[in-house]
Amino acid sequence: MTVPISPEFLALQEVLAGRYSIERELGRGGMGIVLLARDVALDRPVAIKLLPPHLAADPTARDRFLQEARTAAGLSHPNIVPIHLVEAHGDLVFFVMGYVDGETLRERVERAGPLSPRLAMKLLQEVAWALAYAHQRGLIHRDVKPDNIMIESATERALVTDFGIALGNREGESRGGGVVIGTARYMSPEQACGEPVDARSDLYSLGATFFYALTGRAPFEGTTLPAILAKQVTEPAPLVQVVRPEVPAKLAAMIDRCLEKLPAKRFQTGDDLARVVGDARGRAFRAPPLVRAFTRNAQVSTMVLFAMMLAGQSVTVAKTGVTVSLGGPGIIGIILLCQLMIVARRLLKDGYGFEDIRAALLAEAQVQAEEAEVIKQRRWLRRLDTVWYKLWAGPVGRWFFKVAGCRLKPSARPATASVERTELVLERSALAAYNALPAASRRQTSDVPRVLGRLEAGAEALRAKGDTGERLTEAVAALEHLRLALFKLQAGDGSVGEVTLALERARAIGEHVDLRLEAVREVETLLE
């Protein structure tokens, strides 16, 4: 590792060695430094939030930071980032939370522009659920904003984080003329005035957050903090459809209602808002991409084949009467059917079945029926539009997939690759630090690669046998201490002597691990 190592990284890793292994810094803000780490025992990624040392020395900041952790640790909800551990060691005050592989709502908007209405409704409903859960337990977030909403990459699930200034209802009520806490652009009018707040204040902030998500700007802007706060208190929020006309009226009305100045005019609970959003979303069926591809191709191919058959008709008038002959689909029809057959075989090979296709077809039919109702489509056109999905969702579709599956052996879907083992990541990081040392230092510590490899192999063997107790902790801690000694030497804050001492300890622990594994092997041999 050749990137600069921060003092916070080194100090915290000394405390966490054997339990958590820090990989890198994810970011830092006014109330914390966030680090990516790995849980040694469970071998999974986690995030660690560390209070900056200069704030840890301030009793008020320290208490508020610990309050964030203890508040969030009491919440267990699929749309709230979980807290696993809260600790304080001198000036090191931190908590360990679930790692979300994704980005914040702000980062998403900055990267890809305003959200689509469909995605915005999904995220809005999930955050409303999370806030309703917290409110029912007497907790008010008080800082709902785009930076505090994470979007998970794999599922696009919304997770609320950073309850750093959350207060219980009683405490919030007792601070009637108290300090203004929060983020000005997303703060409710009553919060901006320092008045008591309740759940409806969070819903105002949620409305302001999704105003930003849909338009790319906050409802109120200003050059100074007092100017923004003054607008929050005195000016009505702009209407969503004025800023972005293509937002559906129902969704825009929800956001506009959240942004009412008077709390009594807003949604009264998060559950109320989530229910209204759910009604607007309707059936939220999302088929896998390959299934959607077949559905689209089936619709287009069916309509094209029907059109070709009609266009291929010929009418002949003779003395014997009138004859009508139907033209076949020809080469284009054959190509379309072959294309559908290829996609169908791919679906079957990947483990999908006819019922998966049928569900996707019926969901698409429902969406089209709703659209036809809105645009007042003629009845005969609606009936014509139903032919394609009735054909493929019925006996014809079942027969087609049966034919497509002839002589095809379905392969098991490959399991998602797991993250690399903690001990392997540590060994690789330590070797990188060792290789970055001057040649003279490497010569004095030439046994480092061999000891690292021995410890990594021993830790891997322990984990494979399900031994995730004291021996594994010792092995990983030894790797960690050796890595830290190399980091310090690389940064100029350590010495070869410290590396040599860590190397001796690592060598001794490696021998203990080998003895442990040998004893296990002997027992297994006797039991055979």
pLDDT digits (tens, 9 = 90+) for 129-172: 999 999 998 888 888 999 999 999 878 899 998 875 554 443 43
- Which residue do the tokens 């949604």 mark? 267
> pLDDT digit string (tens) for 183-238?
889 999 999 888 889 999 999 999 999 999 999 999 998 888 888 989 999 999 99
Give the tokens for residue 228: 């923004």
First and final CA of the chain: distance in angstroms?
A: 45
Give the tokens for residue 493: 């804050």
If 0-12 CB within 10 Å is exposed, 13-18 middle and 19+ buried, where does residue 206 land?
buried
Element (H, E) at 326: none
CA–CA separation, 520 vs 418, rounded Å?
Answer: 27
> pTM for the full model?
0.60
Question: Is the separation of the CB atoms in 59 and 78 below 8 Å?
Answer: no
According to CATH, the topology of domain 7-98 is Phosphorylase Kinase; domain 1 (3.30.200)
> pLDDT digit string (tens) for 478-521?
888 888 888 888 877 788 888 888 888 888 888 888 888 888 77
CA–CA separation, 37 vs 303, rounded Å?
Answer: 54
pLDDT value of position 405: 83
Secondary structure tally for the chain: helices H, strands E: 22, 12
pLDDT value of position 309: 62
CA–CA separation, 37 vs 477, rounded Å?
Answer: 14
pLDDT value of position 176: 40
According to CATH, the topology of domain 102-281 is Transferase(Phosphotransferase); domain 1 (1.10.510)
Question: Is the separation of the CB atoms in 484 and 505 below 8 Å?
Answer: no
> Which residues partner with 97 through β-bridges?
47, 83
- The dihedral formed by the CA atoms of 462, 476, 95 and 153, expressed in degrees to the nearest 10: -70
pLDDT value of position 175: 39
| Mean pLDDT within 393-421 | 67
Catalytic member of 39, 91, 101, 143: 143
pLDDT value of position 264: 95
Active site residue 272: no
> pLDDT digit string (tens) for 355-388?
767 777 766 676 666 566 656 667 777 776 677 7
CA–CA separation, 489 vs 483, rounded Å?
Answer: 10
- The dihedral formed by the CA atoms of 475, 476, 482 and 488, expressed in degrees to the nearest 10: -160
Give the tokens for residue 77: 């909800």
